[in-house]
Amino acid sequence: MRFLALTLCLAAPLPALAQSEEPAETPISVPPPIPVGFLVAWKPTLLSVRVDSGAGSEFGSDKWSLLRALGRWTSTAFDDRLMIRAEIEGGQFQSDTPIALGSKGVDLTARLLGGAATRISPGFVVSASAGVITRYQWGTEPQSGATRFGLFGASSNLELEYRIAPLLSVSGYLEWALTPFPYNAQPNLGNLSDASEFRARLQFSLEVTSSTAVDLGYDFTRWHAAFTNSSVLDPTGPADKALLLEDREHAITVGIRWKP
């Protein structure tokens, strides 16, 4: 009897010990911070062009180019550690220039980028990527058409995004590129000396469903190209002039972004 009583006394705390054990933890899958999917946007642009042959000049009057658009595809690789992005934008290209040089045409810009995104804190994501960039423009009219040339080079960018409300976020974006390689340029432009691009963007994104968002933003883009041995401004003279072409674009981006 004493042995049975001792056994019962020792066994009595066992249910309490079993109840006090913590339940097994179940890991929660956290979605990657990379915004995968597609973006299609309308991008009306206020464009002005500066043409300088070395004597100094000002930008021409700004003109709206409404027939412009942007398309972007973003995906991931290596277990969501690498961001892959392909982008193309462009359309109507028209501006007044202060000297006799055509500025009516079409331009296209394409980017192929790879990078990564990091969630710094809840609601705050930093993304960075680098890759190749190309831009090509050509005239659409014989007399007033824009000059024809293409540029190719390397680009890098940085983006900061912060969620300011459950369905609303704001982001800032900076991009810079060097494009020293010309292609298919009209001969009288001369030799490309240097070329570059800079872009800044402020954007608001509103999530309308779990897989769809509406983007509204402002973009500023500056393209710069300098040539030597040019005769485009004086076709009858010697090809020994300097030429500076600079585009300044103010654009509004209205887009829909979704993921499959």
Q: Return per-residue pLDDT of the chain as tens, 260 residues.
A: 555 454 545 555 555 544 555 666 665 555 678 889 999 999 999 988 887 776 655 555 567 889 999 999 999 999 888 999 999 999 988 776 555 566 688 999 999 999 999 999 999 999 999 999 999 999 877 666 688 999 999 999 999 999 999 999 999 999 999 999 999 999 989 999 999 999 999 999 999 998 999 999 999 999 999 999 998 877 777 878 888 888 899 999 999 999 98
> What's this model's pTM, rounded to 2 decimal places?
0.84
The sign of the torsion formed by the CA atoms of 34, 35, 41, 43 equals: negative
**Token pair listed for 7:** 């056994």
Closest residue by Cα to residue 160 from 117, 122, 205, 189: 117
The token duo for 37 is: 């999917």
Round the CA-based radius of gyration of the chain to a whole number and report it: 28
Homologous superfamily of 36-258 in CATH? Answer: OPCA outer membrane adhesin/invasin (2.40.128.100)
Based on the number of CB atoms within 10 Å of its own CB, is 197 exposed (0-12), middle (13-18) or buried (19 or more)? buried
